[in-house]
Amino acid sequence: MKKYHKVNKEDYEKWYGEHQAYRDRVKSDPNRLAYHLMPETGWLNDPNGLCQLHGLYHIYYQYTPFEPTGEIKLWGHYTTKDFVRYTSEEPVLFPDHDFDAHGVYSGSAFVEDGTIHYFYTGNVKCFDRDDHDYIMSGRESNTIYFSSRDGYEFSEKMVLMTNRDYPADMSCHIRDPKVFYHGSAYYMALGARDKESKGMVLLYRSENLKDWEYYNRITTEAPLGYMWECPDLFWLDGQLCLICCPQGVAPRGVDFWNVHQCTVMGLDYDFGANTYRMNRLEDNQEKISMVDRGFDFYAPQTFEDETGRRILIGWMGIPDADYTNPTTQAGWQHALTIPRVLHWAGGRLIQTPVEELKHMRCHGRTYDLGQLNEAGEKEIVYEACFQFGACDRMTLTLRAGVTLNYENRLLTLDMGGKGSGRTNRSVMVDDLRELQVFSDTSSLEVFVNGGEEVFTTRVYGMEGSIRADGACSGCVDLYDLSGFIYE
């Protein structure tokens, strides 16, 4: 397949029928994950259209089956009823129209009255001139709609908005629609970059999901990067939250060390007066927190399931990083995080793994920290739940060469040469009470103090070693994990 050429379902099916050897090569890679969603071949990035309908979870995602660098974007599709057993479905969305010919970019789903309403960005690059910079000129960002009664059969695509419908002071970078309902109207959040290269979220309003009018823009007083991607506005335990991905933010202390960020902000929004104020720190600075402290976390999306849980799934990857994934040599790249349930408590976002993942646990055992090193645990695919008493300093080895180090209130993930260019990331914590570690063949997700902080990263090194050294007391429950089942 050629970049910047339309791709339809028939093109994909023909290609798929001719590339069994490619699928076999990818399947044999030892870095394939046991309990994370991955592309069968090629590239995966942002989760899209997350929703639940009639008990079935639909997980769509940015997908390039043809090669591992993400040149042509489709929507892939997984379904599950329990977050352990999955069905890999056929791709559902293709760049097959003039208004999305250069990529069906990220979008979301809104479920109402038994219908899934989908919204996404159709990307078009113009080649009529040589001087386009594709920021201020040369790019069309079309907001597109389609729907389904079952998540498999879809209506025709409908263009809702084009560049002409966005404010005049915007650049061409407007994308990633996320829709919610409040009061008596629907609202759409769009990631944006204005002509002064200030990042923000554009908010649109509609009474019928089809006709949208500009409503407001959400941004910080001082610029926080030049572009806010993948916005998500939702209520959580009474707090209106905005998760988004600012690009172009410089490091501050231990914060914002990745090339691009993922942040969460609490908002006090008066929709009657159409005014808002961001939550503030004691010194009246806007309170902007990182969603994840690891190397590989970006473009998360949340949704409310049929039990009322607010669930987040993120892309276990990041654009433009200077570190690599050796899986590209085997013909694939990236994965999705495990699903996380969100809460808001004490003015901060709390993330915990969905309870369903406990069904993967097997061969459970418990050690006092003083016994752990003697046990000689060498697992790679495992879950470990640490409970600490007094903990002054500690080096916790998660696998050979990869450690979590805690001292003077600083918790640091050190990849120790097993990160394929990833080095270390840190967070300040007042005290270390507990850790929940999900280790997969080539990934780590570490939940700190009940999910107050999280580290997500890819890791490359298959020599197992789980041990704890230092001045720290406590115990650990350790489980092997059976992995996902694909049906």
Instruction: Write the pLDDT tens digit of every residue in 402-446.
Output: 999 999 999 999 999 999 999 999 999 999 999 999 999 999 999
11 catalytic? Reply is: no
Contact 410, 428 (CB under 8 A): yes
Given the residues 24, 46, 283, 414, the one annotated as active site: 46
pLDDT at residue 4, as a whole number = 87
DSSP, res 128: S
Residue 69 has a CB neighbour count (10 Å cut-off) of: 10
Provide the mean pLDDT of the chain.
97
Q: What is the DSSP letter of 66?
A: T
CB 19 within 8 A of CB 68: no
Cβ distance 165 to 172 under 8 Å?
A: no
Q: Is the pLDDT of residue 88 over 90?
A: yes
**Where do the DSSP E strands lie in 306-440?**
310-316, 332-333, 335-336, 340-345, 348-353, 361-368, 382-399, 402-407, 410-414, 424-428, 434-440
What span, in angstroms and rounded, lies between the C-alpha atoms of 404 and 411?
7
* Average pLDDT value for residue range 162-188: 98
Domains and their CATH numbers in the chain:
9-353 (2.115.10.20), 361-486 (2.60.120.560)
Helix (H) or strand (E) holding 370: helix 369-375
pLDDT band of 2, cuts 50, 70, 90? confident
Choose among 2, 4, 82, 35: nearest CA to 479: 35
Q: What band does 206 get if pLDDT is binned at 50, 70 and 90? A: very high
Q: What pTM value is reported for the model?
A: 0.98
Statement: residue 461 has pLDDT above 90: yes
In eight-state DSSP terms, residue 3 is T
Tell me the pLDDT tens digit for each residue of 303-346: 999 999 999 999 999 999 999 999 999 999 999 999 999 999 99
C-alpha angle 293-177-45 in degrees, rounded to nearest 5: 45
CB atoms within 10 A of CB 95: 24
Q: Let me know: does 42 contact 25? Beta carbons within 8 Å.
A: no
Three-state DSSP state, 67:
coil
Catalogue the E-assigned strands of 237-285.
Answer: 239-247, 263-270, 275-278
Residue 148 parent element (H or E) = strand 139-148
Percentages of the chain per state (helix, strand, coil), in multiples of 5: 10, 50, 40
Nearest to 94 by CA among 1, 209, 24, 232: 1
pLDDT for residue 1: 87
DSSP state of 249: P
Non-local CB neighbours of 119 within 8 Å, separated by 6+ positions:
107, 108, 109, 110, 143, 144, 145, 160, 177, 178, 179, 188
Alpha-carbon distance of 298 to 317, in angstroms, equals 6
Q: Kindly report which listed range (1-10, 53-62, 236-245, 260-269) carries the lowest average pLDDT score.
A: 1-10
The arithmetic mean of pLDDT across residues 43-49, rounded, is: 98
N-term to C-term CA, the chain: 29
DSSP 8-state assignment for residue 255? B
With cut-offs at 50, 70 and 90, classify the pLDDT of residue 3: confident
Please give the C-alpha separations between residue 64 and each of 70, 144, 299, 454, in angstroms, as whole numbers.
5, 20, 17, 28
254 vs 468: CA distance, rounded Å: 24
Q: What is the mean pLDDT of residues 281-297?
A: 96
